[in-house]
Amino acid sequence: MLVFPNAKLNLGLYVTARRPDGYHDLETAFVPLPWTDALEVLPAPKGQAASSLTLSGRPVPGDPATNLCLKAYQLLQADYPALPAAQLHLHKLVPIGAGLGGGSADAAFALRAVNEVFSLGLTTMQLEGYARRLGADCAFFLHNTPMLAHGRGDEFSPLALEVRGTACLVVYPGLHISTAAAFAGIVPRPPAHPLREALGQPMAEWPGTVRNDFEDALAPRYPVLADIKARLYAAGATYASLSGSGSAVYGLFPDLGEAPALAWEPEFLVWRGTL
Ligand SMILES: C[C@@](CO)(OP(=O)(O)O)[C@H](O)COP(=O)(O)OP(=O)(O)OC[C@H]1O[C@@H](n2ccc(N)nc2=O)[C@H](O)[C@@H]1O
Ligand SMILES: Nc1ncnc2c1ncn2[C@@H]1O[C@H](COP(=O)(O)OP(=O)(O)O)[C@@H](O)[C@H]1O
């Protein structure tokens, strides 16, 4: 089975409190971004007892044994010991450590694909339980429609937000920012404007009311992030922001013609399309 795990964008992100479990309470909105990896899940060939993962495309840091695709398979195997061995291949395209949720998307799509290939019959709610153990934003990708998230970012409520078809430019400046390290620079506080209400207003209002707390926290160390955002606004973006804990910055435009092919630095990766 071949699946295409897509990325996500955060529309607004507030870190509201530090939690006793070491995590933080968040308020954010997730929307799907159709920048995808490709993941193949097959039963392992006869005679291959252990599951395997091969990789191509963008290098994924770390031992392949710790890749979230294999971890997803192993979580299911722990509860279903008779699960046959699987052969996985991931072609990585979404930048890593970009705040685009690529690793969590791979994990969520791996859970769903293993469930289908081996006919486990798990419901989306059951898969969500496994996803939560793989990453705070992993369960979002099982729904893959606009969601307001709170708690650790893994409790969702549907968001009536019609962004599908919106022109978008995502700029990744090649910085791998660890999510855990980005949290270290944050002083938690409640949002100045409640997010659901702010997103209910026309997009032209969002620059004044929809904020990502990581922008200020990362600004002193990574001035390039504010520079990209300013360039997106100068190019006509209606709204621009850092996604998640960075380092990808996106702009939403009235139409694709106005999402111009700007002259970005050669080491930047740029995705241009519609949500
Ligand atoms: C904070 C967000 C916002 O979108 O950042 P991005 O990853 O998108 O940049 C995500 O929810 C992240 O989700 P995910 O990347 O799955 O997080 P995890 O692997 O569970 O956590 C990585 C580390 O981030 C910190 N963390 C994460 C989520 C949270 N609510 N509070 C935290 O303090 C913890 O230090 C944790 O060890
Ligand atoms: N399939 C995978 N794709 C990307 N990263 C992965 C994967 N499996 C494990 N990781 C690890 O997860 C970390 C975060 O990855 P990613 O989800 O791309 O970042 P972000 O949380 O900023 O969106 C990386 O440091 C990487 O080593």
What are the pLDDT digits (tens) for 20-67?
Answer: 998 999 999 999 999 999 999 999 999 888 999 999 999 999 899 999
Average pLDDT, the chain: 94
**Architecture of domain 2-157 in this structure:** 2-Layer Sandwich (3.30)
Q: How many CB atoms lie within 10 A of CB 37?
A: 23
Cα(136) to ligand 1 centroid in Å equals 6
SS3 118: coil
Q: Percent of the chain, pLDDT > 70? A: 98
Q: Where are the domains of the chain?
A: 2-157, 163-274
Say whether pLDDT at 215 is over 80.
Answer: yes
Q: Which residue has the higher pLDDT, 62 or 256?
A: 62
| Sheet with 249-253, edge to edge strand ranges | 239-242, 249-253, 167-172, 269-274
Choose the residue to mutate in 179, 186, 243 for probing ligand 1, maximizing ligand atoms within 8 Å of C-beta.
179
What ligand has the least distance to the C-alpha of 96?
A: 2
Cα(107) to ligand 2 centroid in Å equals 10
When pLDDT is averaged across residues 223-240 and rounded to a whole number, the result is 95
Q: Whose CA is nearest to atom 2 of ligand 2?
A: 103
Q: What is the pLDDT of residues 133-159, one digit of tens each?
A: 999 899 999 999 999 999 999 999 999
Say whether pLDDT at 263 is over 80.
Answer: no
When pLDDT is averaged across residues 181-192 and rounded to a whole number, the result is 91
Q: How far, in Å, CA of 170 to CA of 184, rounded?
A: 25
Predicted local confidence at residue 49, as pLDDT: 85
Predicted local confidence at residue 188, as pLDDT: 95
Q: Which residue has the higher pLDDT, 178 or 151?
A: 151
Predicted local confidence at residue 272, as pLDDT: 94
Q: What is the CATH number of domain 163-274?
A: 3.30.70.890
Say whether pLDDT at 172 is over 70.
Answer: yes
Say whether pLDDT at 259 is over 80.
Answer: no
Say whether pLDDT at 79 is over 70.
Answer: yes
Predicted local confidence at residue 270, as pLDDT: 94
Helix (H) or strand (E) holding 147, with range, is: strand 147-150
Cα(176) to ligand 1 centroid in Å equals 14
- Pair 29, 66: CB distance under 8 Å: no
β-strand partners of 6: 36
SS3 43: strand
Q: Which of 137, 154, 213, 229 is catalytic?
A: 137
**What are the tokens at 265?**
């630095």
**pTM score of the predicted model:** 0.95
Rg of the chain in Å (alpha carbons): 19
Tell me the pLDDT band of 258, cut-offs 50, 70 and 90. Answer: low
Identify the CA nearest to 272 among candidates 225, 230, 237, 245: 237
Task: Determine if ligand 2 sits within 6 Å of the CB of residue 179.
Answer: yes
Q: How many CB atoms lie within 10 A of CB 160?
A: 8
Predicted local confidence at residue 264, as pLDDT: 85
Predicted local confidence at residue 81, as pLDDT: 93
Is residue 46 annotated as a catalytic residue, yes or no?
Answer: no
Q: Whose CA is nearest to atom 12 of ligand 2?
A: 103
Cα(104) to ligand 1 centroid in Å equals 10
- Pair 146, 163: CB distance under 8 Å: yes
Choose the residue to mutate in 28, 60, 138 for probing ligand 2, maximizing ligand atoms within 8 Å of C-beta.
60
Task: Determine if ligand 1 sits within 6 Å of the CB of residue 14.
Answer: no
Tell me the pLDDT band of 260, cut-offs 50, 70 and 90. Answer: low
Q: Percent of the chain, pLDDT > 90? A: 87
Tell me the pLDDT band of 261, cut-offs 50, 70 and 90. Answer: low
β-strand partners of 15: 26
Is residue 25 annotated as a catalytic residue, yes or no?
Answer: no
